[in-house]
Structure 1
Amino acid sequence: MTAVLETRPLDGARARSIARAFLPDGAFGNRWNYFYTRTKLGSDPLYPAVADALRDTTAPLLDLGCGLGLLAHTLREDGVDLPYRGVDIDAGKIAHARRVADRARLRDVTFDAVDLSRVMPEHAGSVALLDVLQYVDTPAQIRILDTATAMVAPCGKLFIRSGLETPGWRARTSKAFDTLAAVAGWMYSAPRRYPSEALLRDRLDAAGLRYAITPLNGNTPFNNWQIVAWRE
């Protein structure tokens, strides 16, 4: 793994602009999603990193484990207009993602509820796999990775963001935070196993992809890494 200069998160004005679409309809509605979105976009370098990776591609994008669909909003705000489909196991988040995308008038964006541990959608193009692998066991990680790599078209890319199975305080912090998010009901389940770098390299090599693995911690205390892969 190679250390590189990391992408910065969105500035405050851009984060607030995107988060406004997540405000409740009424003055007394629940504002959790608004404050969560605003905080995450303003602290996590993930979304600008994905936009930078996909900016020179033309293939449609499948976002596996899309949650509230933040990636769709940040890509459109950044001028990346690839056709986007987001899937997630949490039907409640998918319903909210649809409502907010309609409110924000995002073009060429769809969302569907899918349990990736049971079935993978058909797709050819680019794939985003963001903070998903730690929530399934190793056999499921292999199935998801092998299916995702097979989806990558010559004009597309695979972007993975994940914690890795490494020693150190960042790894412990990531696991504690992910576990707390599950206890609080924000995440569908607690983390099961973080993938190893060796597993990722093995599956990417088997798929014949070129790739780069670099840190993506930003100003966070988490053990986050980005893997960008492409087919020559």
Structure 2
Amino acid sequence: MTLAAVLFDMDGTLVNSEPLWEETLHELAAEYGGTLSDAARFSMVGTDMVTSMTILHADLGQPWRDIAASGLRITELTERLFARGLPWRPGARELLAECRAAGLPLALVTSTERRLVEVALETLGRDTFAVVVCGDEVGGHTKPHPAPYLRAAELLGVDVTRCVAIEDSPAGVRSAVAAGAAVLGVPGDVVLAPELGATLAPSLTGVDLAFLRRLLAEDLAVQDGEPAVLGGRPRPPALG
């Protein structure tokens, strides 16, 4: 039952970057002569760029727009804001520091593209994570597909079922649960339903290694004797 690694989402989990994304999405919508709805914005949280731009175009009634061009424009706008530094989510910096001090392997698993992640790492610390898996590095299998978390565990050389993943979005929770990790959900802008299969906490304040080890132990204990569904989460599916 040893905790092998902790796998962190980035936007909304470690850093409060969602308001910056919202600012640039509204700016792009205005450039296109429209207004982004709240429902469309919330449905983008935790998704990759292609999905987000598809939602944006549909919401504006402009499905004919080029997804790649819109994605590039959003990246340009967001990069400027990221470069100013990113605000930490409560308790995130302290938890990272404790994990690092204990020598526990850490991975960053994000739907954000590498170009913006490189900027965010100026805030997060380039030596904080042994592995960084970005949204444009998983062959199109982004969250909620399990591939990002399975890839992170593979690169770390650990069993994903001995990892705790920390997420803030439904798409991210579904990805980590499907991969087979124990999941801590820390909701921010979007509500996380208990039936998604994550243990929920109001924030990372007060979350420490002892808490994560207990979460994993309880998750594994529930699995014993269950042939198909483990503690509300499915066994890792085969990728194809």
Q: Which has the higher contact order (CA 8 A, sep 6+)?
A: 2
Q: TM (normalized to structure 2)?
A: 0.29
Larger radius of gyration: 2
More helix by share: 2
TM-score normalised according to structure 1 size:
0.30
